[in-house]
Amino acid sequence: MKTATLFAGLTFAIFLIVPGESTSQSSTFANFKVDALYRAVKVSWKTVGDPKGEMSIQIMRADNFEDSPYKVVGVVKIAPGKSNYEYIDKSMGAEAKYYYKLIIKETNESIGPKPTRPFFSPPAT
């Protein structure tokens, strides 16, 4: 009887610790994607519901590792009635892996990080 109770408790605890893709994922964001382009990265996402007041999304990038310091590379204002957004980041300096996350400036809600590596060789012709 004690073994079954312990197992059930451990299963529940594991479910709480690992609920999904990211613990910082918010219900405000959906379909967060980061796509590699030639010398650039396309960051795209959808918002769920209309904003309550003025809201801005900060596009954050870490240049080396997932835990590196993030810097703001862009800001996009959320518009009522619009749900699809994208931002093209052309500010990286070298061929490397970059990590992106989104933060709502007014509420500090976030999603990410997601890694990508832009292409720095020209496409074959």
All domains of the chain in start order, with CATH: 24-116 (2.60.40.10)
pLDDT in tens, 81-116: 889 999 999 998 777 889 999 999 999 999 999 999
Question: Considering only CA atoms, which of 35, 44, 21 is closest in space to residue 98?
Answer: 35
111 Cβ neighbours under 8 A, 6+ residues apart: 22, 24, 25, 26, 29, 32, 45, 101, 102
Give the residue with greater pLDDT, 20 vs 44.
Answer: 44
Which of the two residues, 91 and 27, has the higher pLDDT score?
Answer: 91
Global pTM exceeds 0.85: no
Strand ranges inside 1-125, DSSP E: 29-37, 40-47, 55-62, 71-78, 84-89, 98-104, 110-116
> What's the average model confidence in pLDDT over 68-89?
93
Closest CA to 101 of 66, 76, 125, 50: 66
Q: Where do runs of H (alpha helix) occur along the chain?
A: 2-17
